[in-house]
Amino acid sequence: MNIYHADIQIAAARYLGWMPDYIAVTDDDITVSGWALSIWNEPAQLRFLINGADFDQVDRALASPDLLAPFAHIPHAVNSRFFCRHRRDGRPDLFADGFIRLNVTGPFGEHRLSYRTAWYLADPAREPDMPSPAQIERVIGTDNAQIFRLGGATIAKHVEQLLLERFDRPIGSFEAILDWGCGAGRLSRYLTLLSPSVTGIDIDADNVACCDRTLPGARFVHIDLMPPTPFPDGAFDLVIGLSVLTHLDEPVQDAWLEELRRITRPGALLLLSVQGLAQMVFFDTPPTLNLEAHRRGILDTGANDQLQAVLDHPSYYRNVMHSPDYIMTRWSRWFDVLDIIPATAGTQDLVLLRRRAD
């Protein structure tokens, strides 16, 4: 057994656990298919839940030979696919709060931390207009609209639940929320359902214009590759940055962390995502790269071409890995680093920081 491969796979099984690959919503029912892993529970013990209740129909332990390679060390990976169906007719609205919650748990069901493995889907009837396939692809690396919607809604709800869990604060209690690196609005489109005080910023002018056109519940600002931004000192009390620092080399990272410190007020919270072990299994990341990231603290593995069509500086946007110890020490120059929570930002880890008083 290769301990490094095993650690990556165990992280995905433990902190992510399962993933839907298809969801269909009709007037009659909701169907979900995907895969579910467990290290300690047998497949028959797993529960497939919608808003905390068991699905009406579950076909489990279906053949999944494609998952044997990425999850070779996880029990029953070769039979980890499932199909679920739930009837909608004659029942209360499953989208009563604007979202449905999908989860796979052990035999005892959900608890107060179960939101971390849940996936959320917003009510299709309330969805704003979608960006173009090209705009979506620049954000998530594929033009799949369902992945875009599912990921955005899930991360927004994870953030909401994390703030309640750690600080007993609803997201609506924050006066000014910044979606740093908003892209095509993957997160902002759902944050606006939870708060009226959202500002999105991005270096992609085309995507910012799209957000401005399709998401009237927030304001959007195009920014330069380097700070400063046009905001005054202490403008925001909550900052969310999805997969931004995963694309900035160290000098650019440091400049932006300094700018985030400037534009946040004392006590502000920041949630910034980074690559973690759980994500590595989906990109077949060689453990040697993670070992090198641990040795150096930060590892730039080369240019990322997703934004080449909209940026004049093709070398700006990078592929960057961080070690947890590096984050806990270096980022503490600007903020109190409170925690690194695995696989909470989609497949990425979420770093929780707090702005110190001057």
Sequential DSSP letters for 203-227: S-HHHHHHHHHH-TTSEEEE--SSS
DSSP H or E run through 344: strand 335-345
Query: Residue 1: which pLDDT band, with cuts at 50, 70 and 90?
Result: low
pLDDT at 92: 84
Contact by Cβ (8 Å): 239, 264: yes
Question: Strand, helix or coil at 358?
Answer: coil
Mean pLDDT of 338-357: 97
Question: Percent of the chain having pLDDT more than 70?
Answer: 100
User: What's the CA gap between 103 and 55, in Å, rounded?
Assistant: 10
Residues in the chain: 358
pLDDT at 58 over 90: yes
Q: What angle do CA 254, 167, 121 make, to 5 degrees?
A: 85
**Percent helix, strand and coil across the chain, each to the nearest 5:** 35, 30, 35
Q: What is the mean pLDDT of residues 210-218?
A: 96
Ordered by start, the domain boundaries in the chain are 3-125, 133-355
Q: Does this chain's domain 3-125 share its CATH topology with 133-355? A: no
Q: Give the pLDDT band (50/70/90) at residue 145.
A: very high
Confidence at residue 96, expressed as pLDDT on a 0 to 100 scale: 87
> The domain 3-125: what is its CATH number?
2.60.40
Q: CB under 8 Å to 124, separation ≥6 — which residues?
A: 25
- Average pLDDT, integer, range 67-91: 94
| Domain 133-355 architecture | 3-Layer(aba) Sandwich (3.40)
Residue 91: predicted pLDDT: 84
Give me the amino acid identity at 111: H
